[in-house]
Amino acid sequence: MSKSLRLSEKWFRRGLWLVAVVFASFLIGLGSTIVGDLPRVEHKLELDDFIDRAAAEPLRNTIREGNLTEQQATREREQADLKLLTAQQASRAARETFANWIATRRATAQPDQDIELVARTKALDALKVKEDEAQRAVGVQRQVALDARQSRQRAQQQLAALENDARTKLDAEYRRVELRVFGYRLALTLPLLAIAGWLFVKKRKSTWWPFVWGFIYFALFAFFVELVPYLPSYGGYVRYAVGIVVTVLVGRYAIIALNRYLARQKLAEAQPDTVRRNELSYDTALARLAKSVCPGCERPVDLKNAEIDFCPHCGIGLFDHCHVCEARKSAFAKFCHACGAVAAAASSPGPAGLPGQVQPASTT
């Protein structure tokens, strides 16, 4: 059809399509914001909303206390290890000194050194006692840490069982929330899609068609981009079922539209040639002729063949001759391309010399 439009009309139509796209983009932005905010309608779910708090709190307190006790025992054990190491080094050094002294005493065999022997032995015993005490202190702290760790592990196991039950309930509630949010999106999207379908059928060729097409694009985007990704899957059954339903609905509409179109074409082909040409709009006829198809039945026709004046498929007139200059011209042209006279179909009949009758062009 673009070949039959005036140049200014082409640019106006392009500008109106731009209006439709811009209008659709703003609607899409608004719709995306609304759809994105729909989950905020629901309460934010947490694991603590479904756990048995009366049983979980003591266990969590036990875990916290066990961690603190184990950390404290670890610090105390580190100090005890240091003390043990110091005691062991002192005891080892004393034993080496005592061994050297014993060797010297045996070599000299001086009885007056028996008192010193007893004193040195007592000192070694005291160092050994300190070493044993340090060893016991290390053992005590290790036992405290072990008891705290085992208590904490038992509490963690019991708490994990409670959390698993709560997580199962949380997952089930998440699925219910997702279904509710999807229902909100569906309740918002389906009316838009229904309105878009009605506008496509009734108003797509109206005066306000840029806004109609902008709304149609917005509704399609809202359905296929904003809604379909959130469609519950359940192993693909829901998505495939929805796909089948949408395909059946679209296919049914296409089949019905095709049958209606074929019925209209058969009815139109049965009408007289003049009536059929009058029912065709000028722009539609020129657009179809530009595609080398018959304006009446839309079947291919060799329009370059100068011997073809009528459609071989439906019989509608494609070419006639100017009643003034006898030039061969399109039967749908309003003026003769050779002399500029008004086409016979465009002039109203009347007596010679009266207004409305085409007069021969003067030749001077």
Query: What pLDDT was estimated at residue 106?
Result: 59
**Whether pTM exceeds 0.75:** no
Task: Tell me the pLDDT tens digit for each residue of 253-293.
Answer: 889 988 888 887 787 777 777 777 777 777 788 888 888 88
Query: What pLDDT was estimated at residue 341?
Result: 86
> Where do the domains of the chain lie?
1-229, 233-270, 274-359
Which uninterrupted H or E stretch holds 319?
A: strand 319-321
Assess whether pLDDT exceeds 80 at residue 239.
no
What one-character DSSP code corresponds to residue 113?
G
Assess whether pLDDT exceeds 80 at residue 192.
yes
Structure tokens at 210: 């840029």
Measured distance CA(202)–CA(195) in Å, rounded: 10
Please state, in angstroms and as integers, the Cα–Cα distance from residue 212 to each residue in 22, 201, 219, 320, following that order. 12, 11, 11, 40
Please state, in angstroms and as integers, the Cα–Cα distance from residue 203 to each residue in 1, 217, 218, 219, following that order. 19, 14, 16, 15
* Range of lowest pLDDT (93-107, 198-212, 299-313): 93-107
What is the CB-side half-sphere exposure of residue 314 using CA atoms within 13 A? 23
What is the CB-side half-sphere exposure of residue 176 using CA atoms within 13 A? 10
Q: pLDDT band for 356, please (50, 70, 90 cuts).
A: very low
What average pLDDT does range 7-13 have in this prediction? 71
What average pLDDT does range 73-93 have in this prediction? 81
Mean pLDDT (the chain, rounded)? 77
Q: In terms of Cα–Cα distance, which of 311, 312, 338 is closest to 326?
A: 338
Q: Which residue, chain included where needed, has tokens 């019991």?
A: 158
Q: In terms of Cα–Cα distance, which of 319, 313, 284, 285 is closest to 299?
A: 313
What average pLDDT does range 335-344 have in this prediction? 84
Query: What pLDDT was estimated at residue 78?
Result: 84
